[in-house]
Amino acid sequence: MKKVLKTLLGVWNTKTVVAIAIGAALFGVLMNFGGIPVFTNTRLTTAMIVPVIVGSMFGPVPAFITCFVGNTIADLIGGWGFWFDWSVGNGVLGFIIGLLPFYGAKINEGIFKPVHAVIYAITCVVGNALAFGVITPLLTVAFYGGELTITFLQAFAGGLANTAVLVIIGIPILYALARRSARSTNLVMEEEKEE
């Protein structure tokens, strides 16, 4: 149980803080300037790459905070007012993407196999459905009241676009990251053998 909690939270040293901050800034900027509009308030955004990187390196809770703060920053620099329902939705999505170590895809140790890619794709779909199909509409109703149809349409368009970005760009990135860290772990192994 304690171990699960530790994987969930990640290690909160200065490196994590800085990585989350830079991730959030990138997320905010890409949300504003790196997207192609699909529907009102939603766009095919490249910002979704950021939680993949942060999540794979630091775990689910850092990914959650990156997305939440990132979306708040996007709202701040975009100047269209705060939409905390969407911030929380994005945060939850980040959390689910960041669950990578729980099904064995340990990017930091260079482990990312095709099985993990498939599970990752499934979690992306489930995560989008949960974040934008359940949590964001619920919060929208709680915060602003009123009709669900529009929010669902927006959520559907946004979720679909996110899933596409997450799967098509996310999986190659995860492979690349895993390969990169695999090299460094091999070095450690050899040194140990020599002793």
Partner 1 sequence: MENRLLINLIPGETFLHKLTGKTKVRTFIILLVFIIMSFDMRLILPLFILSIIGLRSLKPNWKTIKYFFIVIGAVNLLNIVLFWVADPDIGAYWCGGGHTVLFSLTGRIYLTAETLWYLSVRFIKMITSFMVSLVFILSITPSEMAAGLYSIKVPYKICTIFSIAFRYIPDIGRDFNNIKVSLQTRGVELDPKKASLKSRLKQNVLILVPLIITSFDRVGNISNAMDLRGYGREKTRTYYSEHEELKADKVFKVIYTLLLLFCVYWIITQNIMPQTFKMWYPFA
67 binds partner 1, rule: CB under 8 A: no
| Interface with partner 1, residue 19, by CB under 8 A | yes
| CA–CA separation, 32 and 53 (whole Å) | 19
Smallest distance, partner 1 to C-beta of residue 18, A: 4
By the rule CB under 8 A, 15 interacts with partner 1? yes
DSSP-derived letter for residue 107 is G
Residue 82 burial (10 A CB sphere; 0-12, 13-18, 19+)? exposed
Q: Measured in whole angstroms, how far is the alpha carbon of residue 118 from the centre of its chain?
A: 17
Q: Which stretch binds partner 1 (CB under 8 A): 11-19, 87-95, 108-116, 120-128?
A: 11-19
Angle made by CA atoms 126, 129, 135, in degrees to the nearest 5: 120
Q: Which of 31, 48, 50, 155 binds partner 1 (CB under 8 A)?
A: 50
Asked if residue 134 binds partner 1 (CB under 8 A), the reply is: no
> Judged by CB under 8 A, which of 11, 33, 122, 179 binds partner 1?
33
Q: How many residues does the chain have?
A: 195
Q: CA 120 → CA 12, 26, 73, 152, 171, distances in Å?
A: 25, 22, 27, 24, 8
Site residues for partner 1, 138-177, by CB under 8 A, read 142-147, 149-150
Which CB sits closer to partner 1, 77 or 126? Answer: 77
Question: What is the size of the binding site for partner 1 (CB under 8 A)?
Answer: 46
Burial zone of 96 (CB within 10 Å; 0-12 exposed, 13-18 middle, 19+ buried): buried
Residues that bind partner 1 (CB under 8 A): 12-15, 17-26, 28-30, 33-34, 36, 40-41, 46, 49-50, 53, 65, 69-70, 73, 75-77, 79-82, 84, 142-147, 149-150
